[in-house]
Amino acid sequence: MTNAFDQDRVLIFDTTLRDGEQSPGATMTHDEKLEIAGLLDEMGVDIIEAGFPIASEGDFNAVSEIARNSKNSRICGLARANFADIDRCWDAVKHAEKNRIHTFIGTSALHRAIPNLTMDEMADKIHDTVTHARNLCDNVQWSPMDATRTEWDYLCRVIEIAIKAGATTINIPDTVGYTAPVESADLIKKLIETVPGADEVIFATHCHNDLGMATANSLAAVAGGARQIECTINGLGERAGNTALEEVVMALKVRNDIMPWHTGVDTKKIMHISRRVATVSGFPVQFNKAIVGKNAFAHESGIHQDGMLKNKETFEIMRPEDVGLSGTSLPLGKHSGRAALRDKLNTLGHEVGDNQLKDIFVRFKDLADRKKEVFDDDIVALMRTGEDAGNDALQIVSMKVVCGTGGPAESTVEMEIDGKDVIATEHGDGPVDATFKAIRVLHPNKARLQLYQVHAVTEGTDAQATVTVRLEEDGVIATGESADTDTVLASAKAYVKALNRLIVRREKTGPGIDTREISYKDAT
């Protein structure tokens, strides 16, 4: 490259709020998007793809507000290859001090067939739309969707057209997770060597994980000359997900001896944002997930434990502190005070005010009375459980469940609905089924249960259960999560939280609107 870009620096382009949110059921609220964007900005992410502004009024408003609030990151919006999309995108991102328009079109034979464009017609469209974007914004990214399955000569041709039209970043998407590391590196290297003007722009890589190689393919692309990685927190994304931000960032940090590039990400903030994304998206992190999984720094084997006690480097290639963990899980108990709880919250990345601490402390004491030990993960669960408390139209007041081998389960649920106490008793195939039926009697709805998931927060029979419930009604999707030592109560609270979010989203979008469903054909 002859531009002034630092060849030792890899830009991190986070698309959690755009591609990550396209995971079925992962839709975030406006406030949640703003919160995640703020955390990404603080963490040192270079570019935040804040959304798809033309997809809905809600998406446009979120991108606009993120752009206004950004302090460090460049704010990017996505646009298909048409003037309306690009204009709408610019209207959203222009408020940022640093902004970017990202426009794309599918260039493989399979994708060209969708809008029924010839190679020449598509080439003209690329020239016109990239030129239009560059006339609005001096920082334009262009992507040939499904690049890894596009004919080589045509890929070179359209990339050259995009560069001449003013694109400053050329992103090479492995849209369906088709490529492999050797091929990924070779493709980037050959494009930089072959395409006229390629040395004047930044090449980026965008990999999906359909074959489990997204991280490897992204790092290979960097070895081939790419200097921007597109990724998401926890690898969130369509189908099998995207390249995980935490994996590529820590790989570059830990193996800098063989991958001599660096990022600007503050890795100590990784664990906190991972947990927040898991909470707001309703997609829990698998226990054995690299870097951020619950077991990533756990050692149960006797040989491993012995080695760890003698020298931590025996079985740990990075320190827990490097990703924002406290290193050791020091449990609190019922005799712990507010100061200890505040210190623990700060250690876990949560700064709380006095009023919020008071509320959390009450729930902490209640939990400590029911558990022998309260671990770090219990504290995180308490934070989640307290979100939106007191602001919902529907609230659980009390519950009584009868179940066993003698017959169907019975659940009596008392709720407060719009300030009025109501009660219902229902029978079902198990205590959770009976409870959900009782809630539906009290608040009639047509919501379909898409996901019901339970996992223990910590070990032991007194462990808190974290329950995730995802509901869909008339195309609107909402997720609720709650934790309690009583699994049925946690289930009821999660179900009610999801119902409350459905109510809010219906008020904002109206029934029958799926804000994520935009036809690709509209690009023409």
Nearest to 275 by CA among 79, 39, 462: 39
- Which residues neighbour 42 within 8 Å (Cβ) at sequence distance 6 or greater? 72, 266, 269
Amino acid at position 10, single letter: V
Output the pLDDT for position 262.
96
Q: Is residue 517 within 8 Å of 76, Cβ to Cβ?
A: no
The residue written with tokens 């991280």 in the block is 215
Helix 338-347, helix 354-370: angle, nearest 10: 100
Amino acid at position 372, single letter: K
DSSP state of 332: B
Residue 473 parent element (H or E): strand 465-473
Annotated binding site: 19, 206, 208, 242
Output the pLDDT for position 162.
98
Neighbours of 372 (CB within 10 A): 10
How far apart CA 74 and CA 215 sit, in angstroms, is 23
How far apart CA 225 and CA 205 sit, in angstroms, is 10
Residue 468 parent element (H or E): strand 465-473
What is the token pair recorded at 502?
């459905």
pLDDT tens digits, residue range 13-52? 999 999 988 887 777 888 899 999 999 999 999 999 999 9
How far apart CA 343 and CA 323 sit, in angstroms, is 18
Annotated binding site for Mn(2+): 19, 206, 208, 242
One pLDDT digit (tens) per residue for the chain, 524 residues: 345 567 899 999 999 999 988 887 777 888 899 999 999 999 999 999 999 999 999 899 999 999 999 999 999 999 999 999 999 999 999 999 999 999 999 999 999 999 999 999 999 999 999 999 999 999 999 999 999 999 999 999 999 999 999 999 999 999 999 999 999 999 999 999 999 999 999 999 999 999 999 999 999 999 999 999 999 999 999 999 999 999 999 999 999 999 999 999 999 999 999 989 998 888 888 888 999 987 777 644 444 334 434 555 554 678 888 888 765 555 677 777 888 788 778 777 778 888 888 888 887 888 777 766 677 777 777 776 665 555 678 989 999 999 988 789 999 999 999 889 999 999 999 999 999 999 999 999 999 999 898 987 776 777 788 898 989 898 888 888 888 889 999 999 999 989 998 888 776 655 443 433 344 333 32
Output the pLDDT for position 346.
79
Angular region, 416: left φ>0, alpha ψ -120 to 50, beta rest: beta
What is the token pair recorded at 253?
């940090």
Helix 376-386, helix 338-347: angle, nearest 10: 90
pLDDT tens digits, residue range 140-162? 999 999 999 999 999 999 999 99
Q: CA 425, 426, 428 angle in degrees (round to 5)? A: 150
DSSP state of 26: -
What is the token pair recorded at 40?
């990404």
How far apart CA 81 and CA 17 sit, in angstroms, is 20
Q: Which residues, listed in sequence order, are joined to residue 77 by a DSSP beta bridge?
A: 51, 101
What is the token pair recorded at 283?
């997609």
Pairing mode, strands 465-473 and 99-106? unpaired
Q: Is residue 115 within 8 Å of 124, Cβ to Cβ?
A: no
Output the pLDDT for position 218.
98
What is the token pair recorded at 524?
């023409």
The residue written with tokens 């712990």 in the block is 336
pLDDT tens digits, residue range 223-249? 999 999 999 999 999 999 999 999 999
Q: Cα dihedral angle (84, 88, 90, 96), rounded to 10 degrees?
A: -170
Output the pLDDT for position 327.
59
Residue 143, φ and ψ in degrees, nearest 5: -125, 125
Q: Is residue 8 within 8 Å of 252, Cβ to Cβ?
A: no
Would you say the C-alpha torsion 405, 408, 413, 417 has a positive or negative sign? positive
